A = this chain, B = another copy of it.
Amino acid sequence: MNNTAAGRRLILASGSPRRHDILCTAGIPHEIRVADADESLPAGIAPSDAVEMLSARKASAVLRTAAADEIILAADTVVSLNGVILGKPLDEDDARAMLRAQSGNAQEVYTGITITDGHTTVTTHEKTIVRMRTIHEDEIEDYIASGDPMDKAGAYGYQSLAGVFVAGIEGDYFNVVGLPLCRVSTILREQFDFRPQWNRR
């Protein structure tokens, strides 16, 4: 995808294909560049602080080698259930336990974002509540057998098979997928004078 006429370039500091897809769908030109960042966290850190801290580290790691006209966007997403952060399941038993715990409950999805060009840096987070319907045992087994849960935080993908389990959400849908699109595009426009490129389709 081409970059903006204004000449600034947006760098997505994430290897997530889902974040790339969100930016593409919204017509926001970008390149992908990923650098290693320390993913360790202080014990007992709140989910909102954790995702902000990790997004800031990911952005810093890419900023070190960035050109002067480049804007770096980094993000980190976690699922929190009753205050406990759910990562990717370790194995099928772990996925089973996570899905049982989420059945009939509301969870919170936090995505932290950092946008920086080395002069201006914005770090913030967005929260979306996700309400699951009751998930029956046979559905849990079928879902685990599909292989879908294993690479996903909280052991489910709203934008894939597990969409049938989600009764509703409160907040930005794209935040659940991994990038709070409305917030990101507003910050890019207002703080960095960077806009989507909407060519005639």
Interface residues of A, Cβ cutoff 8 Å to B: 22, 25-28, 128, 133, 142-143, 145-148, 158-161, 163-174, 181-182, 185-186, 195-196, 198-201
Distance in Å: Cβ of A119 to nearest Cβ of chain B? 24
Question: Do the beta carbons of A146 and B182 come within 8 Å of each other?
Answer: no
For A160, what are the chain B residues with a Cβ–Cβ distance below 8 Å? 25-26
CB A34 to nearest CB in B, in angstroms, measures: 24
Contacts of A142 in B (CB 8 A): 195-196, 198
A134 to chain B, nearest CB (A): 9
Query: Do B172 and A170 have beta carbons less than 8 Å apart?
Result: no
CB-CB under 8 A from A186, the residues of chain B are: 133, 164
Are A168 and B26 CB-contacts (below 8 A) given A186-B133, A201-B146? no
Using A145-B200, A198-B143 as known contacts, say yes or no to A169 and B169 having CB atoms under 8 A apart: yes
